């Protein structure tokens, strides 16, 4: 897409320009997500989730119509501004688990599974449906997919988001207990649903003590929650670095042991295979591990394992002399280990965050992760120049 914006003459610019587009979403989200989190503490999770889904639906379609770098950045920023779901959804899942007395490991496992699955399915949708007029012979009405070659995958994504929005309007309940209580009281329901004793007004005595506005606890970030924020931020940082650089690493020429020389379809197949490992890790492995070990120990285990897995990837191109299947087996083994640890780390830190935060400030705390520590996806011009230099050679599928 960036190449079609006019950067095909100097492919060294593609990596950095693609990084600008991706970063624009996270920069806009970073500046607004704490606001959405605080608003969800005050007005409820449901409305914020609906706003995020609607904003995501509209901005996806607009992004598909981008024909220049400026508009691509503009529409991704628009999506980031309206999308506070990442923090609010995490908060809502935690509250729902507490209210229904669910196993938090299973609750966050399902949430983490869906998130991880999106990182696998999303690139497959984008890669298989991009430029459908040329790759699939689908020009669309009035040649729309010829004019906008990247609109079709965005429409598919918007349909998924829009369907979720419509379902949420009718099926999504409020999980913020304070907001839910206000809704019940203000709805004028019968006396059987009303509390027998109304809350005393400001300044009256409660339990022999005078209360006033100064005694009301304000949302704050506890020490344990702060360190959870730091840990989650470090995890997001190295996770996004890997997700951004892996396609470049896999597509780069195998000459000089820089990359793997994979085609787009080969990269997609590697990512699609990870869906099975994510499914097993999230819904089967993690609940079992959580029964025999504490959540904190699982977080420590995953964090330590990353230090062993990541340094192995740059060594994989050197295995080309052993044959294609040996090299790919090692690659898939490393990727499976990495995605399994991401599942364990992601679920563990969500549980730790939920348990270390007071109910009245969960939205604020989850939003603070994005405000202060949300990593911005970007590609170093120097690193991009080194990797993209090899793109000048035509891709040759490995037999």
Distance of alpha carbon 276 from the chain centroid: 19
Query: Nearest-CA neighbor of 176 among 355, 36, 363?
Result: 363
Mean pLDDT, rounded, of the chain: 77
**Range with the poorest average pLDDT among 42-46, 80-84, 285-289:** 80-84
Higher pLDDT residue, 122 or 221?
122
Model pLDDT, residue 120? 73
Quickly count helices (H) and strands (E) in the chain: 16, 2
The band of 387, judged by pLDDT with boundaries at 50, 70 and 90, is very low
Higher pLDDT residue, 236 or 110?
236
Residue 209 inside a domain? The answer is: no
| pLDDT surpasses 60 at 272 | yes
Model pLDDT, residue 63? 94
Residue 373 inside a domain? The answer is: yes
Model pLDDT, residue 8? 63
- Decide if 384 contacts 14 (C-beta within 8 A): yes
Model pLDDT, residue 365? 58
At 177-232, the pLDDT tens digits run 888 887 777 765 554 544 444 444 444 444 444 444 444 454 555 677 778 878 88
State both tokens at 34: 């704490």
Residue 207 inside a domain? The answer is: no
Model pLDDT, residue 384? 37
Model pLDDT, residue 361? 56
Residue 190 inside a domain? The answer is: no
CATH number at residue 130: 1.20.1250.20
Model pLDDT, residue 396? 41
The DSSP code for 5 is G
Radius of gyration of the chain (CA): 24
Model pLDDT, residue 329? 93
In the chain, the N- to C-terminal Cα span, in Å, equals 27
Average pLDDT over residues 66-86: 88
Average pLDDT over residues 132-154: 89
Residue 184 inside a domain? The answer is: no
Residue 186 inside a domain? The answer is: no
Higher pLDDT residue, 313 or 87?
313
Number of CB atoms found within 10 A of residue 247's CB? 18
The DSSP code for 216 is S
Model pLDDT, residue 366? 59
The DSSP code for 187 is T
SS3 210: strand
Higher pLDDT residue, 47 or 107?
47
The band of 390, judged by pLDDT with boundaries at 50, 70 and 90, is very low
Alpha-carbon gap, residue 29 to 376, rounded angstroms: 10
At 18-50, the pLDDT tens digits run 888 888 988 888 888 888 888 888 888 899 999
Percent of the chain scoring above 90 in pLDDT: 23
Residue 199 inside a domain? The answer is: no
Q: How many domains does the chain have?
A: 1
- Host domain of residue 235: 3-178+220-392
The band of 12, judged by pLDDT with boundaries at 50, 70 and 90, is low
Average pLDDT over residues 82-100: 81
Residue 360 inside a domain? The answer is: yes
Model pLDDT, residue 399? 40
Higher pLDDT residue, 146 or 351?
146
Q: Which range is most confident: 131-140, 263-272, 387-396?
A: 131-140
Average pLDDT over residues 387-398: 40
At 319-377, the pLDDT tens digits run 988 888 899 999 999 999 998 998 898 888 878 877 776 655 555 555 555 544 443 34
């Amino acid at each position: 897409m960036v190449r079609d914006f006019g950067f095909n003459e100097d492919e060294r610019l593609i990596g950095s320009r693609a990084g600008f587009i991706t970063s624009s979403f996270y920069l806009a989200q970073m500046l607004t997500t704490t606001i959405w989190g605080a608003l969800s503490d005050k007005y409820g999770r449901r409305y914020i989730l609906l706003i995020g889904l609607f904003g995501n639906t509209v901005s996806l379609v607009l992004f598909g119509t981008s024909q220049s770098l400026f508009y691509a950045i503009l529409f991704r920023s628009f999506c980031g501004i309206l999308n506070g779901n990442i923090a609010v959804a995490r908060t809502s899942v935690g509250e729902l688990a507490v209210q229904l007395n669910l196993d938090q490991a299973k609750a966050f496992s399902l949430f983490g599974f869906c998130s991880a699955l999106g990182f696998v399915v999303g690139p497959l949708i984008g890669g298989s449906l991009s430029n459908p007029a040329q790759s699939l012979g689908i020009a669309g009405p009035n040649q729309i997919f010829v004019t906008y070659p990247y609109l079709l995958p965005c429409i598919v994504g918007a349909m998924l988001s829009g369907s979720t929005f419509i379902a949420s309007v009718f099926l999504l309940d409020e999980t913020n207990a304070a907001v839910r209580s206000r809704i019940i009281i203000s709805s004028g329901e019968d006396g059987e649903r009303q509390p027998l004793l109304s809350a005393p007004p400001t300044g009256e005595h409660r339990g022999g003590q005078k209360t006033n506005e100064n005694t009301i606890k304000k949302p704050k970030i506890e020490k344990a929650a702060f360190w959870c924020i730091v840990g989650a931020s470090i995890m997001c940082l190295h996770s996004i670095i890997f997700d951004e650089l892996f396609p470049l690493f896999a597509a780069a020429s195998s000459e000089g042991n820089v990359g793997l020389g994979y085609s787009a379809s080969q990269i997609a197949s590697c990512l699609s295979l990870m869906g099975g490992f994510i499914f097993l890790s999230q819904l089967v492995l993690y609940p079992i591990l959580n029964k025999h070990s504490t959540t904190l120990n699982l977080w420590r285990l995953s964090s330590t394992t990353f230090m062993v897995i990541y340094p192995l990837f740059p060594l994989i191109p050197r295995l080309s002399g052993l044959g294609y299947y040996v090299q790919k087996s090692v690659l898939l083994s490393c990727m499976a280990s990495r995605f399994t640890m991401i599942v364990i780390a992601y679920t563990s830190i969500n549980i730790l965050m939920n348990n270390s935060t007071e109910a009245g400030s969960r939205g604020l705390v989850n939003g603070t992760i994005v405000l202060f520590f949300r990593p911005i996806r970007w590609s170093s011009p120097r690193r991009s120049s080194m990797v993209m230099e090899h793109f000048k050679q035509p891709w040759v599928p490995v037999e």
